[in-house]
Amino acid sequence: MRLVKAAWRNGYRGLACIIAVAWDTQFSPVDVRTLAERHRSEADGNLIFDRQVDGRAKTGRAAIGTVSRRTERLVKVYLAGLGTALPPDAILFRNRSGNPYREDTLGDDFASVRAIAFPGDARRLMDMRRSGAIEAIGGGVAGVGLAAKNKFNRSLERTP
């Protein structure tokens, strides 16, 4: 949350959304960076990111990313701030110049925000995936719940 707040307050609003979505969904940085308007939808009134059609970048596997209410609000405020409706293939999250994040610009901006929030730290955005399950369990999420989410995403691979 400190990274998200530091990013937002320092004008890296697209990055703030990427960090929050990456944490909640446990998608890889490239999967979040390449989310387009067509991936954003709602299920039962909740924001989700649906990667069933084109799958994840590295594996091609189908996945649905769920997010917290806090992340949902952040994304909605960010998108409303763009001031325009996005076409289906438009990338959602953009850097401060308004261009879609590329691999190098995402890493550079994350390093800048990380230095603001955690001086001297060397963690990368992709490191959040390694600790997400541990943090969730430490916060009281049952391992069964995490397994069910992963099982659900794996079951999508068999869906025609």
Residue type present at position 130: R
In tens, the pLDDT along 15-34 reads 999 999 999 988 889 999 99
pLDDT at 89 (0 to 100) = 95
Of residues 145 and 61, more confidently modeled: 61
Residue type present at position 134: I
Measured in degrees and rounded to the nearest 5, phi and psi for residue 4 equal: -60, -45
From the list 80, 92, 74, 75, the residue with the least C-alpha distance to 38 is: 92
> How many domains is the chain built from?
1
Question: For the whole model, what pTM was predicted?
Answer: 0.83
Of residues 118 and 61, more confidently modeled: 118
In tens, the pLDDT along 86-117 reads 999 999 999 999 999 998 999 999 999 999 99
Residue 18: exposed, middle, or buried by beta-carbon count in 10 A (0-12, 13-18, 19+)?
Answer: buried
| Tally of CB atoms within 10 A around 139 | 7
pLDDT band, residue 144 (cuts 50/70/90): low
Residues 6 or more apart in contact with residue 136 via CB below 8 angstroms: 146
In tens, the pLDDT along 47-94 reads 999 988 887 877 888 888 899 999 999 999 999 999 899 999 999 999
Range of the domain at 11: 2-156
- pLDDT higher than threshold 90 for residue 154: no
Q: What order of strands is seen across the sheet that includes strand 64-66?
A: 40-43, 46-50, 64-66
Report the CATH number that the domain containing residue 85 is assigned in CATH. 1.10.443.10
d(CA 27, CA 128): 10
What is the mean predicted confidence (pLDDT) over 31-50?
Answer: 92
